[in-house]
Amino acid sequence: MSERRESIAAAIVAGGASSRFGGIPKGLERIGGRRIVDRVVDAAKTVADDLVFVSNSEDADQWVGGVRVVRDIRPERGSLIGIHTALSATRAPTLVLAWDMPFVTAGLLEIIVAHSHAEPFAVIPEGPSGLEPFCALYSPACLPFVTQAIDAGDLRATALPLRFPSVTRVSSSEVRAVGDPARLFFNVNSAADLARAEEMDSEERSRQR
């Protein structure tokens, strides 16, 4: 694990409707025989001293054993609410991770954490489509800016970095040093994505044989 000057928390955010998966929460779907959320948890545990799970589902406490579940404080609905809930719960530098990213790795998270030592606000990596706010580290100093965005009715996570006084970007070249960005940031948002993720996992396991 990378050396760090202070404790790091990780918040795994369960967001998005499950209607595309027949009512099954998408993070509980399996790829290569393992639940997506378990893959994310395993990566997060390598760099985080505290782990929380952000979900409003009534049975969320049963999803990940031994992990504290926190629920949204704000009544609004939008991607930014999960970040607000995470920072409100941890009050520490926090890796905010979407729970539907089956290929996020400890190596990627270690790079993000390493950059946080010199960044007072946010460290956000660059993916194929731009910045990845749901695989990023936010300091407690970010919380007032997140709150201001929500109060202003701007719930777009993609617009959030513009509000911070400073942001450290983990360049795409740095990300490529630990893996293919298209794989690392792959999200399972549909049945087709789930099938593709299964194919990607099978291909990777075949290469490792």
How far is CA 194 from each of CA 101, 151, 200, rounded to the nearest angstrom? Answer: 11, 35, 10
Let me know: does 79 contact 156? Beta carbons within 8 Å. yes
Neighbouring-strand partners of residue 127? 130
Residues 167-187: pLDDT tens digits? 999 999 999 999 999 999 999
Query: In this predicted structure, what is the pLDDT of residue 91?
Result: 87
Query: In this predicted structure, what is the pLDDT of residue 145?
Result: 97
Residue 130 has pLDDT above 50, yes or no: yes
Query: In this predicted structure, what is the pLDDT of residue 3?
Result: 45
pLDDT level of residue 20 (50, 70, 90 thresholds): low
**Mind listing the domains of the chain with CATH numbers?**
9-208 (3.90.550.10)
| Mean pLDDT, residues 94-105 taken together | 96
Query: In this predicted structure, what is the pLDDT of residue 143?
Result: 97
| Mean pLDDT, residues 56-64 taken together | 90
